[in-house]
Structure 1
Amino acid sequence: MLLLSPPRSALDRRRFLTGAAGMAAVLGATACGGTDDPAPAGGATRTIEGAFGPVEVPVAPQRVVSTDFYTPWALLDVGYTVVGTVQANVGGVLPEYRPAYEAMTRIGTPAEVDLEALAALQPDLVLGTLVPDLPVDLHDRLSAVAPTLLFEAAREPGTWQERAVRAADVIGRGADAEALRAEYEQQAADLGVRYADVLGRTRFALVRGGAQGNALVDLPASWSGVVLEAVGARLGSVAEGRPGVFEPLSFEELGRLEDCDVVLHLVDTTGEVDDNTQRLLDQPTFQALPAARGGRVFPLPNYYVSHYRQAQAVLDRLDTVLAGL
């Protein structure tokens, strides 16, 4: 279960009140896109560069449909609800966003979009990400329904910050996203100052189980790796300063994590451990690690960070862990 620290500072109180107000707006959003912004006169548009070149998009889109399961959360962060989206794993959805997600119409999966369901929503903009293995003609088929802006796939998952701000900017809420970015960065900086002594003497590992019966040690540019980096947390020698997303280790190689004082492992947002990660945690070589013997192995909900409110949930979890070290 995700443990949230109570608001302590004036910044924390502002974030708590802002988040509560934002969620009230999200849950009260109408089916026309969850925005009270008036439609621009004369159908005004602006040009935004996408993966397939420039796209003319509405200045204030009212009915947005998303073909990925990243964009909806970034837009909920700024109080905007898409009318439709693809099927997501509920265990990856921030718990307070689940009611809003359940109210969205499903339009299939990123690779198999139901164009009939999409068209029935009468979108004025389709937003998505050009992830691998999409049908080569998907952009053309989507564009036949409504203006379609697909972002290039991120080279590294830790670049979720830029994607979140860009998605908000497309719907005219870039300033809100920038304010949220600043709030997140300030919270991270505050944690870094408050726990400077602990961070100076502690090394962390981010781990999950691999499908090949191995361990995946996530690197600084990973989903949560960038959040730890923002706080000033140091990763163990297996990961520190390494490019890429993860380093695979066989179970026999887990001794390479011996210099990690704390291990944070994957769980979903409900606190459930997947089978691969549980297999890793049960290994004698994992149980022999100093962090495991010392009771410093902690589940990390929201491990796969994709938007700012989720990153702030990771910061809250880190606050709880650091306070106990």
Structure 2
Amino acid sequence: MSSTLTTRRGMSVAVALMSASLLLTACGSDGDGNKAAGETGGDKSAKTRSVKAENGTVKIPAAPRRIVTIGNTNLPFIDLGGKPVGVTEVSDSDLAVLPKEQKTAYEAAEVVGSSGGDVDLEKLAALKPDLILVQFHSNDWDKVGKRLESVAPTVLWGLDTEWKEFADEIATAGNVTDELGRQKAKFEKKIAKIKKTHGKTIDDTKFVDVSRGDWSDPGTFYIADIGCSEIARDDIGLDLPEAAEGKDPLAYESLPFEQIAELSKYDVITYPVDAEGRPTKPFLPVTKTNTWKALPTVTSDRALGVFCPGNNSYGPVLQYLDSLDSALATLPTK
């Protein structure tokens, strides 16, 4: 699972991390004080337009020029070609896998606080934003939402927003829909290619996606049914285990290393690797166990490392699909 804080139910532990209160350290300047956004409504030739979001309907600039991103909106907006004037912090690991131009766009922005932590309202107001894009925990919004709206029109998304919807609405609010269209076309083309190339494997194979995070207890791992594996299951059609309807995701349950042997009932295992194809640091302890090494799936080269830099915007999802495509191509024939 990527360290990127992502959307929808695929953000199990990340959601908890985003729950830290957003502390505003100063009073704000004057602003619109309107509520936030997501879908378009109104004439694009007008100076403002109305959009809908988690916190209601708001008038935003038709073509905003000074956008501040807070929380999970940072990287998706930049992925869509946006150039924010202000951002909150993202992890070093997330920055490390960004394309050069996106990293440059992030570093050119003013950091106004930590993601899900402190935001300096005085610094934020000094940037004179005409739009603020926000995704963090609802408890934080209850505490600071009105104060953000006092600076500029503020668009809020809930943490359970599905990633494609999230991309659509960020693109609409941030006026970067042209790039969204290009990315969607690439996504659909890539999905179709994988289905065509690996159709027989997809139809005849029982997969399981396993992972481990830096938050996991020692000696534990989990079965990933959220995040990038959700895309493999729902968009590509891989036969992957998932929680029963209405139940918590399987990824919420930590499994002891003693249960690694139970993975032998699956035909293919996928697990997380970095951009260079090495097991991620949190998952490395799993690969060092004798039980893992003895799995028939591992000894027959049917354990596949897959790189997932994130799952809340098209750019990182496309990187994941490229990695999955390459991994499936290495499977030995039955």
Considering the TM-score relative to the shorter chain, is it more than 0.5?
yes
- Code of the aligned partner of 1:88: V
- Code of the aligned partner of 1:231: I
**1:320–1:170 Cα change, 3 Å:** same
Residue 184 (structure 1) shift: 0.3
State the match for 2:63 in structure 1: 60
1:173 maps to which of 172, 176, 187:
176
1:83 maps to which of 70, 85, 99:
85
- Code of the aligned partner of 2:250: F
**SS in structure 2 at match of 1:150:** strand
Matching of residue 285 in structure 1 with residue 282 in structure 2 = no
**1:294 & 1:240 partners in 2: Cα distance?**
28
Query: Structure 2-normalised TM-score?
Result: 0.74
Residues 198-230 of structure 1 show CA distances to partners (whole Å, capped at 9, x for unaligned) of 2233333222225123111111x4334214532
Map 1:238-277; keep pairs closer than 5 Å: 238-239=241-242, 244-247=248-251, 248=253, 249-269=255-275, 274-277=280-283
Residues 142-197 of structure 1 show CA distances to partners (whole Å, capped at 9, x for unaligned) of 11211111112216xxx211101110011233354244223302211221111112
Matching of residue 48 in structure 1 with residue 45 in structure 2 = no
Q: CA RMSD in A?
A: 2.8
- Code of the aligned partner of 1:84: G
**1:128 & 1:143 partners in 2: Cα distance?**
11
Residues 110-165 of structure 1 show CA distances to partners (whole Å, capped at 9, x for unaligned) of 2321212212221110001132552632111211211111112216xxx2111011
Map 1:306-325; keep pairs closer than 5 Å: 306-325=312-331
1:113 maps to which of 116, 119, 128:
119
**2:84 & 2:266 partners in 1: Cα distance?**
41
Query: Structure 1-normalised TM-score?
Result: 0.76
- Code of the aligned partner of 2:81: G
- Code of the aligned partner of 1:301: F
Matching of residue 163 in structure 1 with residue 134 in structure 2 = no
State the match for 1:203 in structure 2: 206
Q: Which runs of 5+ in 1 are unaligned?
A: 1-39
Matching of residue 225 in structure 1 with residue 230 in structure 2 = yes
**1:176 & 1:275 partners in 2: Cα distance?**
33
* Residues 228 and 320 in structure 2, CA contact (< 8 A), matched pair in contact too: no
* Residues 78 and 106 in structure 2, CA contact (< 8 A), matched pair in contact too: no
* Residues 263 and 298 in structure 1, CA contact (< 8 A), matched pair in contact too: yes
**1:49 & 1:176 partners in 2: Cα distance?**
21
Matching of residue 144 in structure 1 with residue 146 in structure 2 = no
Count of aligned residue pairs for this structure pair: 279
Matching of residue 103 in structure 1 with residue 105 in structure 2 = no
State the match for 1:24 in structure 2: none
**1:95–1:284 Cα change, 3 Å:** same
**SS in structure 1 at match of 2:283:** helix
Residues 253-295 of structure 1 show CA distances to partners (whole Å, capped at 9, x for unaligned) of 2233213333222345576755432222223332232222223
**1:121 & 1:84 partners in 2: Cα distance?**
7
Residues 1-38 of structure 1 show CA distances to partners (whole Å, capped at 9, x for unaligned) of xxxxxxxxxxxxxxxxxxxxxxxxxxxxxxxxxxxxxx
